[in-house]
Structure formats: structure tokens, C-alpha cells
């Protein structure tokens, strides 16, 4: 079995949630973000993740996290954040780490990516700052690197050498390409965001016109002057400062602002509720291990964010025997007989009513032995019989 390191899992989940908290508070942060760089917040979160991980190694209580709150608030104040935001950020991210640390089974990567993508798009549309794209890329890197590290940290030295040779070069090339692409085509991306917002603004203006007809006595003197919102005003200012915010034009139009805000809030609530209704809850009652690990079978289909990226970096098992069992597990999922992340192969087969012990697979998986052609054919026949059983 392969074990995922819980400390790594907690760290990259914490970083992901801290970034989402920051993006969610952007309507407030916007009034200060020209003085405080986005990357300062990210570096602070990375430092906190490292600090909290060290604390969790030597302490199982929450006292040290609460004692760190005044220090963290002071650091936020030192880098330029106002007192209110410093207290808000510190309270939220400290609470989230304590909550994350109390869980043994976490699979929120897909939810994090969806929320970050939605908030990134909204940031591009309303604040028109391409830094949002780099924040999204950083979030993607954080989740992928954290996921990979949590799986390989307890592997043998030979397996780590294989990963260093195969996975990390692909990883670096892939994200270097993305970064260069965003940099080279930043003007094109900005132009596309302008066109998207113009389409949205046209729709909003259409509904505003309908409202004016339904409520002719309403005061529409402060309605958005769309003629002021020209393309040339949407570019970046001197020295990379963001152009005028669209909120400056829509703030006086309360109905539109309320509708947009309600849509964002309801969408976020829907995604969160959907995630918590579908994810598997697992708690380990008695944790007696000195080093905490989460059990995840290597040959199972890992819940990895973005399936194509998973195939690029991890892919299927290379051994033919393990590939056969891997495909059988995928087939079993279609019949709602899938293997749970904490189950061994033997426990899984017993639960779904199959008596086969897959000797050829166990020789390869656990004994690291080779199998002959006869054993391979026998395994194929066993798997075919089990698939027929699942179809009944």
C-alpha cells in the first residue's frame, strides 16, 4: 500500500483555502490592494503553512495556533494591511487550518479548483488585472505539487528517484509553458476579457431598460453611463497599475449590484453544498501512529484534479498485471461496486461478494515478483468472470 502524508495534505489544503478566502474578500480588499501586493499575501500564507506544519509535528492541541494569532495580525499590519483586514484574514485562516487538521480524509481539490476558477474569472471581469491568472496558476501548482508530494513522501528511495526523473521535468515544462503563454498573450487575454464584459454590460443594460419600463417613476439619473466605459479605459495604467474599476460605474446602481452579488453568493453556496453532500466522510477514531498517514491504494483510481493532467504526470500503472486490475476497478465503479480509498483489495472483493484472491496480482503488487504467461491468462479469466458477475 501507498500512504499519503497527512501533514502535506493539510498544508496544501490550507494554502488552497487561504487563497480562496483572499479572492472571496476582494470586494473589500480592492480598496487597499494597490498598496499591498497579492504576492505578499501568498508568501505570508506559505510561511504560515510551514509554521503550522512544524507546530503540528510537535503538538496535537490547538493552543499554539491561538497563541500565534496576535503575531500573525502584527505581521499583516507590518506589510501594510489595515487592522480590520488583518484581524479578518488571521481569524479565517487560523480557523480553517484547525478545521482541516481535524480531518483524516480530505478530497476537496476539485472544489478548490472550481471556486478559484470562478473567482478568477470574476476578478478578470470586474477588476481587469491579469495577476488573477497567475494566482489561478499558483493555485493549480499548489494542488498538483501537494497531491504528488503527499503520495510520494513515504515511497522508497528508488520510487522517488523515478518520480524525480519522470514527473518533475514534465511538471516544470508544463507550467513554464503556461506562464510564458500568459505573459506573451496578456494583451489578447485582456482584450477577450473586455469583450466578455461588454457582452455582460449589454445584457445588464437590456434588463435595466426593461426595469425602467416596468417602473417608469423610478429615479434612473444615476444609471450607468455606458458611454464612459470605453475600451481604452479598461487597459492597465502606468507601471502596471489597474485601470478604473467597473465597480465605480455600477456602485450607484444598487439593483444590478445586488443581483450580481446574490448570484455569486448562491453559486458559491451551491458548489460548497454539492461538494459536502457527495464527498466521502472518513474519521479515524484512534490515531496511535507517531507519524500520521492517510491510506490510499496506489492501484486505485485516485481522485486527482483534472483527469488529463493526472494522466500526464501519474498515468496508469506500468505493470501489465496491475493495469488489468486497474481497469477492472474502473469497470466496477460503473456498476456502483467501486473500491473505497481505505480498502485493501481483499476487503473490497469480500464486500462486493467475490471470492477470488487474485494471486497473480498479489505476487506483483506485494511480493514484487514476476508472473508467467499461464498466471497472466488465469488472472484475465478471473477478471472476466468477476465482470460477468457484476453485470448480473
Q: Provide the pLDDT for residue 346.
A: 76
Mean pLDDT throughout 341-357? Answer: 75
Confidence of residue 175 (pLDDT cuts 50, 70, 90): low
pLDDT tier, 39 (very low <50, low <70, confident <90, very high otherwise): confident
* Mean pLDDT along residues 8-35: 78
* Mean pLDDT, residues 175-187: 68
Q: Which residues pair with 322 in a beta bridge?
A: none
The mean pLDDT value for 200-223 works out to 62
Distance of CA 118 to the CA centre of its chain: 12
Question: Per mean pLDDT, which range of 11-20, 112-121, 181-190 is the poorest?
Answer: 181-190
Q: Per the confidence metrics, is the pTM higher than 0.75?
A: no
3-state secondary structure of 293: strand
Residue ranges of domains in the chain: 1-302, 316-391
Q: State how far the Cα of 262 lies from the Cα of 94, in Å rounded to an integer.
A: 27
Sign of CA dihedral 95, 98, 99, 100: positive
Helix (H, G, I), strand (E, B), or coil: what is residue 66?
helix
| Highest-scoring range by mean pLDDT, 107-121, 333-347, 360-374 | 107-121
Predicted local confidence at residue 5, as pLDDT:
75
Residue 279 carries which DSSP code? S
Tell me the pLDDT tens digit for each residue of 90-130: 898 888 898 888 776 777 888 888 888 888 877 776 666 66
**CB proximity list for 318: less than 8 A, separation 6 or greater:** none
More confident residue, 362 or 63: 63
Nearest to 16 by CA among 154, 127, 91, 114: 114
Amino acid at each position: 500500500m501507498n500512504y499519503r502524508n497527512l501533514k502535506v495534505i493539510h498544508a496544501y489544503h490550507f494554502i488552497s483555502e487561504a487563497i480562496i478566502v483572499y479572492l472571496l474578500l476582494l470586494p473589500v480588499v480592492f480598496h487597499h490592494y494597490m498598496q499591498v501586493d497579492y504576492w505578499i499575501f501568498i508568501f505570508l500564507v506559505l510561511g504560515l503553512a510551514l509554521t503550522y506544519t512544524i507546530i503540528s509535528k510537535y503538538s496535537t492541541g490547538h493552543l499554539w495556533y491561538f497563541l500565534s494569532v496576535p503575531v500573525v495580525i502584527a505581521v499583516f499590519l507590518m506589510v501594510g494591511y489595515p487592522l480590520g483586514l488583518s484581524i479578518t484574514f488571521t481569524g479565517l485562516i487560523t480557523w480553517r487550518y484547525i478545521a482541516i487538521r481535524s480531518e483524516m480524509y480530505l478530497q476537496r481539490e476539485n472544489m478548490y479548483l472550481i471556486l478559484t476558477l470562478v473567482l478568477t474569472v470574476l476578478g478578470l471581469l470586474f477588476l481587469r488585472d491579469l495577476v488573477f491568472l497567475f494566482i489561478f496558476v499558483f493555485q493549480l501548482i499548489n494542488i498538483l505539487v501537494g497531491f504528488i508530494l503527499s503520495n510520494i513522501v513515504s515511497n522508497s528511495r528508488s520510487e522517488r528517484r523515478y518520480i524525480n526523473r519522470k514527473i518533475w521535468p514534465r511538471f516544470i515544462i508544463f507550467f513554464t509553458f503556461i506562464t510564458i503563454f500568459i505573459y506573451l498573450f496578456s494583451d489578447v487575454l485582456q482584450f477577450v476579457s473586455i469583450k466578455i464584459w461588454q457582452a455582460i454590460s449589454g445584457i445588464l443594460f437590456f434588463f435595466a431598460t426593461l426595469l425602467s419600463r416596468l417602473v417608469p417613476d423610478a429615479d434612473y439619473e444615476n444609471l450607468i453611463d455606458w458611454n464612459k466605459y470605453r475600451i481604452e479605459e479598461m487597459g492597465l495604467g502606468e507601471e502596471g497599475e489597474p485601470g478604473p474599476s467597473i465597480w465605480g460605474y455600477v456602485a450607484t446602481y444598487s439593483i444590478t449590484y445586488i443581483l450580481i452579488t446574490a448570484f455569486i453568493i448562491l453559486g458559491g453556496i451551491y458548489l460548497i453544498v454539492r461538494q459536502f453532500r457527495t464527498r466521502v466522510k472518513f474519521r479515524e477514531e484512534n490515531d496511535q501512529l507517531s507519524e500520521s498517514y492517510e491510506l490510499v491504494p496506489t492501484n486505485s483510481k485516485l481522485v486527482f484534479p483534472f483527469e488529463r493532467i493526472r494522466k500526464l504526470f501519474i498515468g496508469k500503472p506500468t505493470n501489465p498485471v496491475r493495469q488489468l486490475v486497474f481497469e477492472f476497478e474502473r469497470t466496477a465503479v460503473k456498476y456502483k461496486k467501486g473500491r473505497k480509498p481505505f480498502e485493501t483489495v481483499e476487503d473490497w472483493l469480500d464486500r462486493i461478494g467475490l471470492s477470488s484472491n487474485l494471486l497473480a496480482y498479489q505476487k506483483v503488487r506485494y511480493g514484487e515478483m514476476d508472473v508467467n504467461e499461464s498466471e497472466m491468462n488465469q488472472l484475465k479469466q478471473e477478471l472476466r468472470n468477476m465482470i460477468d458477475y457484476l453485470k448480473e
